[in-house]
Structure 1
Amino acid sequence: MLPNLRAARGVLRSLRIYHGDPARHRAMAALYGQFIRSGDLVFDIGAHVGDRIRTFRRLGARVVAVEPQPVLHRTLRTLFGRDEAITLVPSAVGRTAGTATMMINVDNPTISTLSTDFIAASRGAAGWEGQAWPQSLKVPVTTLDTLIGEHGVPSFIKLDIEGFEAEALAGLSHRVAALSFEFTTIQRAVGLAAVERCTALGYARFAAALGESQELDAWRSAAEIADWLTILPHAANSGDIYARSE
Structure 2
Amino acid sequence: MFSESYPEFMLRWYLYRRWRRPPNPTRKAEFTFYKLMNSSPRGGLFIDLGANVGDVTNRALGYGMRVIAFEPDPVARRVLTERFSGNDRVTIIPKAVGASARTAMFYQRPDIANVGKTQSSSLLETHEHASGSQLEVEVIDLVQFLRDLREPVSVIKMDIEGAEVECLEVLFESGIYRNIGSMLVETHDRLFPHLSGRLDRIRDRIAAEQLSHISLDWG
1:46 counterpart letter in structure 2: G
SS of aligned partner of 2:77: helix
42-51 or 132-141, which deviates more:
132-141
Corresponding position: 1:115 with 2:124: yes
- Indicate the residue corresponding to 2:94 in structure 1: 90
The alpha carbon displacement at 1:58 in A equals 0.6
Using the size of structure 2 for normalisation, the TM-score is: 0.71
In 1, are the aligned partners of 2:53 and 2:79 still within 8 Å (CA)?
yes
User: Contact 1:42/1:155 (CA < 8 Å) preserved in 2?
Assistant: yes
Aligned partner of 1:101 in structure 2 is: 105
Q: Which amino acid aligns with 1:22?
A: S
Instruction: Tell me if 1:196 matches 2:209.
Output: no
For residues 143 and 67 of structure 2, the distance between their equivalents in structure 1, rounded to whole angstroms, comes to 16
Amino acid at match of 1:204: L
Which of 54, 57, 81 matches 2:58?
54
Once the two structures are TM-superposed, the CA of residue 156 in structure 1 deviates from its matched residue by: 1.2
Question: Aligned pair in 2 of structure 1 residues 196, 71: CA closer, same or farther (>3 Å)?
Answer: same
1:179 maps to which residue? 183
Quick one: structure 1 residues 197 and 208, their matched pair in 2 at CA, closer, same or farther if it must change by over 3 Å?
Answer: closer
What are the superposed Cα offsets for residues 147-167 of structure 1, whole Å, 9 maximum, x if unpaired?
A: 213433311111101111111
Q: Distance in 2 between matches of 1:158 and 1:141?
A: 17
- Alpha-carbon contact 2:103-2:139 (below 8 Å) kept: yes
Report SS of the residue matched to 1:48: coil
Per the normalisation by structure 1, the TM-score is 0.64
Q: 1:38 Cα shift? A: 0.7
1:142 is aligned to 2:146:
no
* One-letter amino acid of the counterpart of residue 47, structure 2: F
Specify the SS of the correspondent of 2:47.
Answer: strand
What letter matches 1:156 in structure 2? Answer: V
> Contact 2:184 / 2:215 at 8 angstroms: preserved in 1?
no
Kindly indicate whether the alpha-carbon contact (under 8 Å) linking 1:165 and 1:194 is maintained by their aligned counterparts in 2. Answer: no
Distance 2:73 2:7 in 1: 25
CA contact (8 A) 2:186 2:216 kept: no
CA distance in 2, matches of 1:181, 1:191: 15
The one-letter amino acid paired with 1:113 is: S
- The CA deviation at 1:197 is 3.6
Does residue 71 (structure 1) correspond to residue 65 (structure 2)? The answer is no
From the superposition, tell whether residues 88 and 133 of structure 1 become closer, same or farther in structure 2 (CA, over 3 Å). farther
Residue ranges of structure 1 left out of the alignment (5+ in a row): 1-17, 123-130, 210-238, 241-246
Whether the aligned pair in 2 keeps the contact of 1:42 and 1:63 (CA below 8 Å) is yes
- Taking the aligned partners of 1:57 and 1:153, their CA distance within structure 2 comes to 17
2:43 match:
39
1:209-228 equivalent positions in 2, closer than 5 A: none
**3-state DSSP of counterpart to 1:82:** coil
Output the amino acid matched with 2:63: L
Q: Report the RMSD for the aligned CA atoms in angstroms.
A: 2.9
User: How many matched pairs?
Assistant: 183
Identical counterparts, % of pairs: 26
8 Å CA contact retained: 2:51, 2:57: yes
Once the two structures are overlaid, the 10-residue window that deviates more, 133-142 or 45-54, is 133-142
Distance 1:66 1:98, change over 3 A: same
